[in-house]
Structures are given as C-alpha cells and as structure tokens.
Amino acid sequence: MTTPTKSIQRPMPTATQGSTLADVLERVLDKGIVIAGDISVSVATTELLTIRIRLLISSVDKAREMGINWWENNPHYSAQSRELLEANRALMERVESLETELKALRPAVSPSLPKPPATPAETLKSLLQDL
C-alpha cells in the first residue's frame, strides 16, 4: 500500500531569484549586453524605411576594454575640447578679419609697384629701350 504524497508548493527557481536590482545591474554592466533590431516599413513590396537599432549597455571600464571610448575625445563631453573649439573659432574670426583688411589694402598698394616682365624676351626688350 502506497501512501499519498503531499504536493509541496515550491516557487520555481529563476535566474534572478534572491538578487536585488543592484546585483542584476552590476552583472549586466560587468559583462555588457547588446540589443539589436531592425524596423522596416514597407508598402506592398516597396521598402520605404529601414531603421537599424544597435544598443550596447556596459560599464565604462568594459567599454574601454572593447575599444569604445568616443566620449573621451568628443567636444560635447570634454571641457578642454570646448575651450579648444572656442579658441579655434576666435582665431578663424581673426584670420577672416585680417584677410578682409589685406584685400582692402591691395588695390591701394599694387598700382604703384612696377609689374615685372613675364618672359626673358620682354626683359631684353625693356633693357634695350633703356639704352
């Protein structure tokens, strides 16, 4: 004779059981996670729009290990780069101002300067006329 067994209600184990959100986030940032997908909009057989989505979530250290460090040299994220961009803009304005002044001075100076002969024959002709 067998005795009936009691069915024990145990929770189903999951990958995050016993983990806090901070633990899960730490694991994701430590290992990194890639989310990829394509969205396509078509009418009949004509594709009108394709959007490719690639998302990488990782820690800064993990990203550097993978060779991803675009934020270090991006002028929008670096104070030193912003200063360099501002200095470059000021220099470009100064160069444009100097070029404008130079163009304004050229017509006043150039008529008084003699034009050099273009060819050796013209040079010889000019010397013979002086004799």
Secondary structure (DSSP) of 16-43 = TTT--HHHHHHHHHHH-EEEEEEEEEEE
Condensed to tens digits (0 to 9), the pLDDT of residues 29-84 reads 787 777 788 888 888 888 889 888 888 888 888 888 888 887 777 766 767 777 88
Sign of torsion over alpha carbons 15, 20, 21, 26 = negative
* 11-20 long-range contacts, CB within 8 A, separation 24+: none
Q: How confident is the model at residue 93 (pLDDT cuts 50, 70, 90)?
A: very high
Residue type for position 111: P
Quote the pTM value.
Answer: 0.35
> Which among 53, 57, 52, 60 is positioned nearest to 34, based on CA atoms?
57
Q: What is the pLDDT of residues 62-77, one digit of tens each?
A: 888 888 887 777 766 7
Q: Tokens for 77? A: 């994220």
User: Percentage of residues in the chain with pLDDT exceeding 70?
Assistant: 69
Structure tokens at 117: 């002969």
